[in-house]
Amino acid sequence: MRRRLSLRDERWPTRDAFVIARGAKSEAHVLLAQIEQDGVVGRGEAVPYARYGETMAGELAGAEALRDAVERGASRLELQDLAPAGAARNALDCALWDLEAKLTGTPAWALAGLRGLEPVTTCFTLSLDAPAAMAAAARAAAHRPLLKLKIGGAGDIDRVAAVREAAPASRLVVDANEALGFEDLRRLAPDLALLGVQLIEQPLRAGEDAALEGYDCPVLLCADESLHTRADLADCARRYGAVNIKLDKCGGLTEALAVAAQARAMGLQVMAGCMVATSLAMAPAMILAQGAEVVDLDGPLLLARDRAPGLVFTGSEIAPPSRDLWG
């Protein structure tokens, strides 16, 4: 057995500017890993994220440093000990899942111990903007059952109220991306509950969220930036009722599934999340999304174009990936 690893970065423009409390982006800059063995190619896609100190150059270098181990046949489990959690390991881990599925003829979901994949309903994200602009975006998306609003500044209640009026039938979650203080949260949460918001993602900055311990929030709180791997779950369980698990943060599907299993055992709800990326990055997360209380895999819907073949979206429902795409 001899493998060959290839790495490259790709840029996929977004449909519109994607704006959160930390800033805006106009493209998804993704790392693509391909591992070829016996004429079969396994693929994985990841997104280096500056918030976690990652750059494309750094993650490419990190993946390149693993070339010898991967080409000599390192397994997914061995990879966990060879590299830290992050985008580089995610791309390689997902490529190894895909390669194993294709070489053995066993679908990735079966390798993960599932009996099959069911369609899931994803959030659709509305970028941070003025209330009127967010209302217009919500009106255009009012047919979607679950909307996720980016918040993070003065006027947040006005934003959420405008979206609620524009999309009265949609369930709402809000994502602050660490932009609130504890007193901001205490002030906003009762009004958010009255507006029907079902979940608040990462209100406080990671590492500064111990204030949430003992706080009885009227809306379910979900860790995002505070949750990367199983090592973070004990702290999260004292502060949140749910965790947003993303393959890029976990360093791949292997760790993500382990995080989800342990989180559920601790009584935490699971959100299957994503970075803005193509269907190739979402496909492995469809395994994670099975049974998740909230699914947020709308990355391809935010792009101007997607990979072909890509995931099939019917409104907000995502069909299981074809094996031509991944797994």
Q: Which residues are catalytic?
A: 150, 246
Q: Quote helix, strand, coil % in the chain, to nearest 5.
A: 40, 25, 40
Q: How many CB atoms lie within 10 A of CB 81?
A: 7
Strands 197-201 and 220-223: parallel
CA dist., res. 149 & res. 327, Å (int): 31
The alpha carbons of the chain give a radius of gyration, in whole angstroms, of 19
CA dist., res. 175 & res. 277, Å (int): 18
End-to-end CA distance of the chain: give it in Å, rounded: 21
**SS3 sequence of 197-239:** EEEEECCCCCCCCHHHCCCCCCCEEEECCCCCCHHHHHHHHHH
AA letter at 53? G
Per-residue tokens: 1: 């057995």
Q: How many CB atoms lie within 10 A of CB 165?
A: 13
**SS3 sequence of 235-278:** HHHHHCCEEEECHHHHCCHHHHHHHHHHHHHCCCEEEECCCCCC
